Amino acid sequence: MNNDQFEIEELIRKAKISNDADAVNSVAIIGAGIMGQGIAQTIAAAGIEVLVIEKDSDHLETGKNRLSEDIDREIKRWAITTSEKKAIFGRIKWSLNLSDAADCELIIEAVDENMELKKTIFRELDKIAKEETIFVSNTSTLSLTKIAGFSKRPDKIIGMHFLNPVPKVPLVELVKALDTSNETVAKVKEFAARIGKTAIEVYEYPGYVTTRAIVPLLNEAMYILLEGIATAKDIDTAMKLGYNFQNGPLEMADMMGLDEVLAWMDTLWKTLGEPRYRACPILRKLVRERKLGKKTGEGFYQYDVNGKIVY
């Protein structure tokens, strides 16, 4: 696609969007970590303007650079073009000020699984956002109803649990809190379809569907490794070839971020009290050593500069 064709398509896209009064046309994302980056890329690729907000310049620059590097790797694999990258980055703005989200129609919180942090963010957003703005949390284990209790607009609070890598996984879990309105659900479901996601509606419960189902599998794979039954590579190979998994459980955990996986396990263990959610000691050891998986270059595997496993 040459520059003239690109500019024409952009004008057509903006004209179509402006004619749909009910469509979400501006989105803010709080947090530029792995999930925030993936969500931003997905939304921008669908032709929607995105604002990404971080707490400091170091985290913001890291998020921006990692997103650029991830897309560059996709370009090398011919999965995306340089023109598409230009279009995606052209729709993403980066900021250090929460107040810049004041005019956005949808605000997505994608920070760490920390209730106090989310409490602070939602209370601040309440002060600056428009009355009709919908607040979304990407939490995977925390109580959405409790999060909604921090806001003065509980009817406009909903969960969108994206899975990593966000641009490639076509699923999102829509989580309705106690007071979430049907109108909010309908609007966010339409938004999910617009960004290419199939939305499933789930009742609020720790772990929902995907996290609750995958955590015991990851944990058991870690115990198999800890007990010396097989190597990480052979465990993953067994699950990929034996059960047609795209990625083995240990590779999957590295991709998710081992600190995030540990946070999920700890929350489910404390909330549900079931042994299958009690984190394997090898996971705690890796997190203590800051070997958090792909994002730090080492976890259950070691990774090169291109994010590929080094055997």
Q: Are 52 and 82 in contact (CB under 8 A)?
A: no
Q: How confident is the model at residue 203 (pLDDT cuts 50, 70, 90)?
A: confident
Q: Is the pLDDT of residue 156 over 60?
A: yes
Average model confidence (pLDDT) across the chain: 92
Q: What is the pLDDT of residue 142?
A: 86
Q: Is the pLDDT of residue 214 over 60?
A: yes
Of 162 and 23, the one with more pLDDT: 162
Give mean pLDDT, residues 23-46: 95
Q: What is the pLDDT of residue 21?
A: 55
Q: What is the pLDDT of residue 305?
A: 84
Q: Which of 18-22, 118-122, 135-139 has the lowest mean pLDDT?
A: 18-22
Q: What is the pLDDT of residue 10?
A: 52
CA distance 216 to 207: 11
Q: What is the pLDDT of residue 115?
A: 92
CATH number 3.40.50.300 given to 210-310? no
Beta partners for 53? 30, 95
Q: Are 100 and 128 in contact (CB under 8 A)?
A: no
Q: Is the pLDDT of residue 3 over 70?
A: no
pTM: 0.83
In the CATH scheme, what is the homologous superfamily, with its name and number, of domain 3-203?
A: NAD(P)-binding Rossmann-like Domain (3.40.50.720)
Q: Are 254 and 299 in contact (CB under 8 A)?
A: yes
Q: Is the pLDDT of residue 266 over 70?
A: yes
What proportion of the chain, given as a percentage, has pLDDT over 70?
Answer: 93
Q: What is the pLDDT of residue 5?
A: 53
Q: Where are the domains of the chain?
A: 3-203, 210-310
Note the pLDDT tens digit of each residue in 215-236: 999 999 999 999 999 999 999 9
Note the pLDDT tens digit of each residue in 170-199: 999 999 999 999 999 999 999 999 999 999
Q: Is the pLDDT of residue 296 over 90?
A: yes
Q: Which amino acid is at 41?
A: Q
Q: Is the pLDDT of residue 99 over 60?
A: yes
264-268 own/partner pairs: CB under 8 Å, 24+ apart: 264/113, 264/140, 264/141, 264/207, 264/211, 264/215, 265/215, 265/219, 267/113, 267/141, 267/142, 267/206, 268/141, 268/206, 268/207, 268/211, 268/212, 268/215
Q: What is the pLDDT of residue 18?
A: 43
Q: Is the pLDDT of residue 278 over 70?
A: yes
